[in-house]
Amino acid sequence: MPKPEPFFLPRAARRCGLSLLIAGLTSPLAAPAQTMPENGAYARVNSFGIFSAYANDSSHILLGTAEKRKLLDFGASYHRRILLGRRVNWQYSAELLPVALESDPLSETIVRQIQPDPASAIVYGGPLVVCSPQVFPYQLTDPKGVVYSGTETSFCRHRQWTIGEAMSPIGFQWNFRPHEKLQPFLDWHGGTMFSTRAIPIDFAGSFNFTVDAGAGFEFYRTQQQSICVEYRYHHISNANSAAYNPGIDSGVLQLTYAFGR
C-alpha cells in the first residue's frame, strides 16, 4: 500500500495564518488600551461643571472685617487645558453664578435712659460690621435745657438674605498627579458680584469685586466624569468705590460635578 504524501501549505498561506495567530494573541492586550486616558493621564481638554458653595460664617482673615456673614452659591464652571505635564495639569478656569446669596445679621439696640427719668426702649436697625455687643454712652440737651443721658447697647439679632449674581472670568487651576484618579489641586479666581442691595452694610455698595483661592481634591470616576471637593478663602469688597468698605472674608466649602472630554 503506498504511503500518503506529506501535505504542505503554500508559503503565502503559512504567512497569512501566522499573522492571524499573532493578531489573535495580541488583540486581548490591545483592547484595554482603547479605554485608557490620553497619554495615560486623567486630564480633559474641555470640562464643564455644576457646583454649589456654602460659607456659614465670616471674620477678619486677610482683608475683610464684616462678621457673621453667610454665603450660598449655585453656579456653573468651565475649564480649558493649557499645559499637561507629568506632574501637573494647568487649566484656565471660569465660573458663572446666577444665584449668589449673601446673609447679613441685623442690629438690635437697647437704649437705657438714666436721666431725667429712667426708661428703656428697643430699636431695630440694619446690619452691623461687628456682632459683639457694643456700648455707647450718650448725652443730649434739648432747647429747654433738659439733659438726657444714658447708654445704647448694640448687638446682632435676626438676619436678612440678599440675592445677587456673580461671575469670575479670570482663573486658573493646577491639578497635581494627573495620571492618578485622585488628584489634589490648587485654584484661584477673580471676578465681580452684583446684589439687589448694598452688602455687607448699608451704603457699602451693591457692586463688589470678588477674589478666591482654594485647595481640594478631584476624583475621576471615568475619563469624562469627576467630582471635586475644595475649601476656599473668598473675599468680597467694593474696592472703596462706595462710602463704606468693610469687606467680607469667608471660608467656603464647594462641591462640583464635572464632565467633558
Position of cell 462706595?
242
Query: What pLDDT is attached to residue 175?
Result: 98
pLDDT tens for each residue of 125-143: 999 999 888 899 999 999 9
Query: What pLDDT is attached to residue 11?
Result: 54
| DSSP E strand stretches across the chain | 46-55, 70-84, 88-115, 119-127, 134-141, 147-176, 182-195, 207-220, 225-237, 248-260
| Nearest C-alpha neighbor of 226 from the set 112, 89, 118 | 89
245 neighbors 204 (Cβ within 8 angstroms): yes
pLDDT tens for each residue of 51-90: 999 999 999 999 999 999 999 999 999 999 999 999 999 9
Rounded Cα gap, residues 248 and 18, in angstroms: 73
Rounded Cα gap, residues 184 and 180, in angstroms: 10
Could you say which DSSP state residue 58 is in? B
Query: What pLDDT is attached to residue 72?
Result: 98
C-alpha torsion sign, points 189, 192, 196, 202: positive
Position of cell 429712667?
118
Query: What pLDDT is attached to residue 32?
Result: 41
Rounded Cα gap, residues 110 and 152, in angstroms: 6
Chunked into runs of 10 residues, the chain (261 residues) has average pLDDT values of 47 48 42 52 96 97 96 98 96 98 95 92 92 91 92 92 98 97 98 97 95 98 96 97 96 98 92
C-alpha torsion sign, points 42, 46, 52, 58: positive
